[in-house]
Amino acid sequence: MTSKSRIRSIPSLDVTVTSELIQDFVKIRVTEAGAEGVVIGLSGGIDSAVVVTLAAKALGSKNVIPIFLQNINSSEADITDIKALCKKLKLELIQYNIQGVIDQFSESISETEDSSELAWMNIKPRLLQTYLYFHANKKNYLVCGAGNKSEIMIGYFTKYGDGGVDILPIGDVYKTQVYQLAEYLKLPKSILKKVPSAGLTKGQTDEAEIGMSYTELDSVLYGLEVFQTDEQITELTQIPLSTIKKVRSMIYKSEHKRRGPILFKLGVRTPSIDWRIPLIKPKHI
């Protein structure tokens, strides 16, 4: 069975309107926070490329700081693409080689300690946020994330790593829709055609790690978003029920990543539960 006969496409974006709305979102959030700009971590992939391009359009190049953390797993293609994109957008790239930091961290951990491969892979994203927030604090900037809706919904990000940001401009945009934005923004073909990878280990690809293509994942997620049953999604897409159940399981298991720390409620009003205030500062304060 061909992919065309078994998978439907999710609705296409109005890329012009979406691009303008995201730019407005960035400008409003920066202004409301009393900040001066944004810091963005670049990976060489399509998500961060789209976000940094939209941020530069929204705020101007002088108010956007792109940062790239190089390590032993960084590819020359990613480094080349990042430098070319920053040059095109007239951004001053800040680049660090953090392999020495990773090595020192590794040496400080006893060899006898049990640690999974995932624990080691998550070191880089958490280090990245440390560098991003250092520069954000120094300049009174916000940290702008590049997570998309598909990966956020299944928890395909590092908690308090790349998920630890101030704003997520494409957080409600599916991965397959990110490509539509990228084409509209005329991103380089080398980025558009690149196989998605978190770059945490050599040869790692996102779709292999997730266990399905982004087209399949987005079709399932969209079906769930509009309250279709598993059976209805299968009938429309021919995607197996086992795949849909896998996506449901990933959503359930990762819900803690999409929420702040869970508080024990004791008082009349509790922070983040029923004692919340608007993000926009009231006039009387």
In this structure, are 31 and 95 located in the same domain?
A: yes
In this structure, are 36 and 66 located in the same domain?
A: yes
In this structure, are 240 and 168 located in the same domain?
A: no
Listing DSSP states for 201-222 in one string gives STT--HHHHHTS-HHHHHHHHH
In this structure, are 190 and 255 located in the same domain?
A: no
pLDDT at position 111 is 58
In this structure, are 188 and 248 located in the same domain?
A: no
Domain CATH for 43: 3.40.50.620
Closest to 141 (Cα-Cα) out of 65, 89, 90: 65
Q: Is residue 278 situated within a structural domain?
A: no
Q: Is residue 245 situated within a structural domain?
A: yes
Domain containing residue 215: 211-260
Q: Is residue 204 situated within a structural domain?
A: no
In this structure, are 225 and 115 located in the same domain?
A: no
Q: Choose one of 168, 195, 222: the last residue of a domain.
A: 195
pLDDT at position 282 is 67
pLDDT at position 281 is 67
Give the burial class of 283: count Cβ atoms within 10 A of its Cβ; 0-12 exposed, 13-18 middle, 19 or more buried: exposed
Phi/psi of residue 93, nearest 5 degrees: -75, 135
Report in angstroms the alpha-carbon separations of 254 from 153, 178, 211, 249. Answer: 8, 22, 16, 8
The tally of domains found in the chain comes to 2
pLDDT at position 203 is 79
Q: Which single residue is written with the structure tokens 């900037």?
A: 141
In this structure, are 188 and 241 located in the same domain?
A: no
Contact predicate 47/162, CB 8 Å = no
Q: What is the C-alpha to C-alpha distance for residues 228 and 233, in angstroms, rounded to an integer?
A: 6
**pLDDT tens digits, the chain, 285 residues: what are they?**
444 455 666 889 999 999 999 999 999 999 999 999 999 999 999 999 999 999 999 999 999 999 999 999 899 999 999 999 999 999 999 999 999 999 998 888 865 566 678 888 899 999 999 999 999 999 999 999 999 999 999 999 999 999 999 999 999 999 999 999 999 999 999 999 999 988 777 778 999 999 999 999 999 999 999 999 999 999 999 999 999 999 999 999 999 999 989 899 999 999 988 998 877 766 666
Q: What is the C-alpha to C-alpha distance for residues 36 and 144, in angstroms, rounded to an integer?
A: 13
In this structure, are 189 and 225 located in the same domain?
A: no
Q: Which single residue is written with the structure tokens 């790349």?
A: 162
Q: What is the C-alpha to C-alpha distance for residues 88 and 84, in angstroms, rounded to an integer?
A: 6
The token duo for 114 is 């049990």
Element (H, E) at 68: strand 64-70
In this structure, are 78 and 218 located in the same domain?
A: no
Contact predicate 224/246, CB 8 Å = no
pLDDT at position 234 is 96
Listing DSSP states for 160-202 in one string gives TTTT--SB-TTTTS-HHHHHHHHHHTT--HHHHTSPP---SST
Report in angstroms the alpha-carbon separations of 32 from 67, 146, 168, 251. Answer: 24, 20, 15, 31
Q: Is residue 97 situated within a structural domain?
A: yes
